[in-house]
């Protein structure tokens, strides 16, 4: 969850950064366009200024020439020269400014012809006045179109000014639209960024709430777990105590059983009768010391040997196949006791000793698993 | 009394002032040295170019007087100079004298500063940008012109219009300079 939230926040910040970059790029581009538009607006103002400068300087020059003609004051001559110099300067600048406006440029060239004519006339007048030729001055003044010539120039200037004003209107509108576009771009970008920042804030607050919930759930789970651990520990302690007691009791029982076993062993070993413990197959599995004393066989000589190799019923046949009909084996197989049966025991040296035989089958849950044969050396009356 | 006082002041000024002849006689004349002579001059607008001696005597003039005089003196000291007339967006104009050897121009507005010479690129557009920038203004046209005191007439020889593509500027076309990026 944590990684996912961080990824989302980083994603948001990446988008915010991208928006900022886009705003910056678009704004810089718009500002450049706006500056270009502003340059065009300035350009148009300058054109209007220069075109009108032509007329005003021409009027100043014209007036200075006429004053000089009347007064002969050299200062007026200087003034007229400067004014006509200004006219030329204004014309040059106006022509340069209208280089990319063919119609206006053409009109300006026509205007220049009229202006040149007017300047030429003024120069002729100045020359005539300077050379003190009143007749020539009078002739020139008589032929001068005067107000009409200036009127033509003025109309030309007005037409050009109107055309430039129309251009100015368009360029100013373009400049305004670009400024407005920049404004909208910046505000739209800011709005998008604010929304994205709101998203980030919501994401962070949601993440904090989720973490708090997770912490509470974890605390609850820990509490439950601790309670279970306490319960389980108590149960284990109790079981341990019970097992310790049982172990102690079992230990006591084992000791008691061992003691009983040793006691029983002592009883069996102390009796004078020959005791054979037999397997279900009538093999000897255990004997008491009385057997060793009478037969001369050691226990290891007899264990796992057939009982019939040592003892048999007195009327029993030792021939081959007689074992199948051994009454002792049959009695054991049938789970019957044999009591006080005359029998014979053959010792290590082949000497036969008459005994009385008793057989007791050993049962485990009603199933014969073996037997105990006891041979008593008592009276040998039947032999 | 007033006339005597004015005459006395003019006399004092004359004693302190220098002449065009002094400037021309200065064998160590350089753009920087030229600018250093005008530190005390004051500013006044005249609708015409002042006579050089009047300008120097009265220590009163404008950018046009200063630029034209710099062009006059330095050209005769074998400097490659150029008079530039920059028209600002407000309609006012400013004249400066560009000196190729020092890659900068002399500006009357900088005469009181230690760095009286303003470094600049050599294209007219770069010069106009720099000059207009010193007024915190835009410019519309910049013209190269020539002027001789004897004739007292400005001759515009080349005009750059700001809205024209820089690559088409006449000075670049002439010099074969690469267009601005």
CATH value at residue B146:
3.10.620
Q: What integer is the mean pLDDT of B124-141?
A: 94
Q: What integer is the mean pLDDT of A252-268?
A: 91
**Facing residue for B140 by CB, picked from A43, A82, A88:** A43
Identify which of A311, A294, A293, A324 has the alpha carbon closest to the alpha carbon of residue A372: A311
Residue B94 pLDDT greater than 80, yes or no: yes
Q: What integer is the mean pLDDT of A354-371?
A: 91
Q: Is A131 helix (H, G, I), strand (E, B) or coil?
A: coil
Residues of A in contact with B163 (CB under 8 A): 36, 39-40, 43, 100
The DSSP H or E segment spanning B70 is helix B63-75
**Torsion-angle region of A317 (φ positive above 0: left; ψ -120 to 50: alpha; else: beta):** beta
Q: What integer is the mean pLDDT of A189-214?
A: 90
Dist CA A29 CA A19 (whole Å)? 15
Q: What are phi and psi of B92, to 5 degrees?
A: -75, 160
**Facing residue for A92 by CB, picked from B47, B159, B164:** B159
**Facing residue for B138 by CB, picked from A39, A85, A88:** A39
Beta strands in chain B (DSSP E): 42-43, 60-61, 81-88, 93-99, 104-106, 117-119, 139-147, 154-161
Q: Considering the domain boundaries, does residue B180 fall inside one?
A: no
Residues of B in contact with A100 (CB under 8 A): 163-164
State whether A45 and B91 contact (CB < 8 Å). Answer: yes
Q: Is A75 on the interface with B (CB under 8 A)?
A: no
Confidence of residue A241 (pLDDT cuts 50, 70, 90): very high
Which pLDDT score, from 0 to 100, does residue A337 have? Answer: 92
Which pLDDT score, from 0 to 100, does residue B173 have? Answer: 62
Q: Considering the domain boundaries, does residue B19 fall inside one?
A: yes
pLDDT mean across residues, chain B? 87
Task: Tell me how far CA of residue A314 lies from CA of A214, A339, A375, A383, in angstroms.
Answer: 93, 13, 12, 9
Which pLDDT score, from 0 to 100, does residue A324 have? Answer: 59
Identify which of B155, B105, B113, B157 has the alpha carbon closest to the alpha carbon of residue B131: B105
Higher pLDDT among residues A378 and A8, named by residue: A8
Residues of B in contact with A40 (CB under 8 A): 163
User: pLDDT exceeding 90 applies to what percent of chain A?
Assistant: 55
Q: Is A85 on the interface with B (CB under 8 A)?
A: yes
State whether B138 and A89 contact (CB < 8 Å). Answer: no
Q: Which residues contact B117 (CB under 8 A, 6 or more apart)?
A: B31, B32, B35, B99, B102, B104, B105, B106, B110
Residue B56 pLDDT greater than 80, yes or no: yes
State whether B162 and A82 contact (CB < 8 Å). Answer: no
State whether A45 and B163 contact (CB < 8 Å). Answer: no
Residue B12 pLDDT greater than 70, yes or no: no
Which pLDDT score, from 0 to 100, does residue A140 have? Answer: 82
Q: Considering the domain boundaries, does residue B102 fall inside one?
A: yes
Gap from B46 CA to chain A (nearest CA, Å): 12
pLDDT mean across residues, chain A? 89
Residues of A in contact with B156 (CB under 8 A): 88-89, 92-93
Give the range of the structural domain holding residue B137, as residue numbers without chain letter: 2-175
Distance of CA A286 to the CA centre of its chain: 78
**Facing residue for B87 by CB, picked from A46, A88, A100:** A46
Q: Considering the domain boundaries, does residue B17 fall inside one?
A: yes
State whether B162 and A36 contact (CB < 8 Å). Answer: no
Q: Which residues contact B171 (CB under 8 A, 6 or more apart)?
A: B123, B124, B125, B144, B158, B160, B177
Task: Tell me how far CA of residue B53 lies from CA of A351, B18, B56, B82, in angstroms.
Answer: 178, 9, 5, 22
Please state the domain count of chain B: 1
Q: What integer is the mean pLDDT of B32-57?
A: 92
Which pLDDT score, from 0 to 100, does residue A131 have? Answer: 86
Q: What integer is the mean pLDDT of B148-164?
A: 93
> Could you give the domains of chain A?
2-206 (1.20.120), 266-376 (3.30.450.20)
Q: What integer is the mean pLDDT of A319-341?
A: 79
Pairing type for strands B60-61 and B42-43 reads parallel
Q: Considering the domain boundaries, does residue B163 fall inside one?
A: yes
**Considering only alpha carbons, which residue of chain A is nearest residue B87?**
A46
Q: What integer is the mean pLDDT of B65-78?
A: 96
Residue B177 pLDDT greater than 70, yes or no: no
Residue A145 pLDDT greater than 80, yes or no: no
Which pLDDT score, from 0 to 100, does residue B181 have? Answer: 38
pTM equals 0.64
State whether B154 and A38 contact (CB < 8 Å). Answer: no
Task: Tell me how far CA of residue A137 lies from CA of A129, A143, B15, B94, B117, in angstroms.
Answer: 6, 10, 47, 39, 51
Which pLDDT score, from 0 to 100, does residue A52 have? Answer: 95
Dist CA B84 CA B87 (whole Å)? 10
Gap from A49 CA to chain B (nearest CA, Å): 7
Which pLDDT score, from 0 to 100, does residue A347 have? Answer: 92
Dist CA A275 CA A267 (whole Å)? 11
Q: Considering the domain boundaries, does residue B181 fall inside one?
A: no
Which pLDDT score, from 0 to 100, does residue A34 have? Answer: 86
Q: Considering the domain boundaries, does residue B106 fall inside one?
A: yes
Q: What integer is the mean pLDDT of A278-292?
A: 93
Residues of B in contact with A42 (CB under 8 A): 89, 138, 140, 162
**Considering only alpha carbons, which residue of chain A is nearest residue B156?**
A89
Residue A378 pLDDT greater than 80, yes or no: no
Test mutation, A57, A93, A101, A167, chain B, max B CBs within 10 A: A93
Which pLDDT score, from 0 to 100, does residue A346 have? Answer: 92
Residue A264 pLDDT greater than 90, yes or no: no
Q: Considering the domain boundaries, does residue B35 fall inside one?
A: yes
Give tens-digit pLDDT for B101-124: 999 999 999 887 767 788 999 899
Give tens-digit pLDDT for A79-138: 998 999 999 999 999 999 999 899 999 999 999 999 998 888 888 888 888 888 888 888
Test mutation, A32, A33, A44, A46, chain B, max B CBs within 10 A: A46
Test mutation, B141, B158, B160, chain A, max A CBs within 10 A: B141
State whether B156 and A100 contact (CB < 8 Å). Answer: no
């Amino acid at each position: 969850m944590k990684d996912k939230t961080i990824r989302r926040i980083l994603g948001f910040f990446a988008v915010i950064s991208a928006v900022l970059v886009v705003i910056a790029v678009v704004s810089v581009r718009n500002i450049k366009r706006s500056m270009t538009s502003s340059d065009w607006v300035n350009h148009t103002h300058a054109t209007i200024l220069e075109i009108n400068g032509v007329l005003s300087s021409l009027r100043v020059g014209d007036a200075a020439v006429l004053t000089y003609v009347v007064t002969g004051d050299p200062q007026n001559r200087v003034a007229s020269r400067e004014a006509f110099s200004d006219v030329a300067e204004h014309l040059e600048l106006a022509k340069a400014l209208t280089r990319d406006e063919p119609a206006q440029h053409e009109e300006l060239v026509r205007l220049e012809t009229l202006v040149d004519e007017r300047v030429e006339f003024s120069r002729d007048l100045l020359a005539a006045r300077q050379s003190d030729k009143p007749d020539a001055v009078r002739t020139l003044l008589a032929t001068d179109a005067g107000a009409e010539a200036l009127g033509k120039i003025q109309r030309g200037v007005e037409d050009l000014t109107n055309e430039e004003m129309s251009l100015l209107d368009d360029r100013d509108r373009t400049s305004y639209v670009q400024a407005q576009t920049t404004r909208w771009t910046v505000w739209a970008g800011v709005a998008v960024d604010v929304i994205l920042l709101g998203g980030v804030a919501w994401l962070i607050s949601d993440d904090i709430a989720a973490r708090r919930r997770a912490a509470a759930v974890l605390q609850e789970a820990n509490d439950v777990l601790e309670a279970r651990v306490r319960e389980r520990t108590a149960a284990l302690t109790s079981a341990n105590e019970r097992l310790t007691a049982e172990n102690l009791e079992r230990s006591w029982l084992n000791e008691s059983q061992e003691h009983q076993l040793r006691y029983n062993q002592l009883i069996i070993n102390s009796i004078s009768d020959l005791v054979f413990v037999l397997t279900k197959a009538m093999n000897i599995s255990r004997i008491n010391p009385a057997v060793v004393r009478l037969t001369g066989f050691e226990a290891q000589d007899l264990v796992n040997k057939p009982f019939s190799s040592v003892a048999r019923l007195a009327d029993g046949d030792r021939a081959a196949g007689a074992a199948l009909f051994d009454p002792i084996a049959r009695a054991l197989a049938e789970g019957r006791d044999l009591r006080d049966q005359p029998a014979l025991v053959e010792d290590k040296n082949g000497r036969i000793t008459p005994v009385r035989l008793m057989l007791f089958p050993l049962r485990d849950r009603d199933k014969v698993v073996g037997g105990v044969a006891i041979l008593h050396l008592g009276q040998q009356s039947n032999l | 009394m007033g006339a005597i006082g004015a005459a006395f002041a003019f006399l004092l000024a004359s004693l302190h002032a220098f002449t065009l002849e002094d400037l021309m006689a200065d064998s160590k004349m350089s753009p920087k040295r030229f600018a250093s002579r005008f530190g005390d001059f004051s500013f006044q607008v005249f609708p015409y170019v002042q006579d050089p001696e009047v300008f120097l005597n009265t220590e009163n003039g404008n950018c046009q007087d200063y630029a034209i005089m710099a062009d006059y003196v330095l050209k005769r000291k074998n400097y490659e100079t150029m008079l530039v007339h920059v028209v600002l967006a407000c309609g006012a104009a400013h004249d400066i004298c560009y000196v190729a050897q020092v890659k900068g121009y002399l500006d009357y507005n900088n005469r009181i500063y230690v760095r009286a010479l303003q470094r600049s690129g050599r294209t007219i557009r770069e010069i106009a940008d720099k000059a207009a920038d010193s007024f915190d203004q835009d410019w519309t046209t910049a013209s190269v012109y020539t002027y001789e005191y004897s004739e007292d007439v400005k001759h515009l020889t080349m005009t750059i219009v700001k809205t024209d593509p820089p690559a088409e500027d006449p000075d670049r076309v002439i010099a074969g300079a690469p267009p601005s990026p």
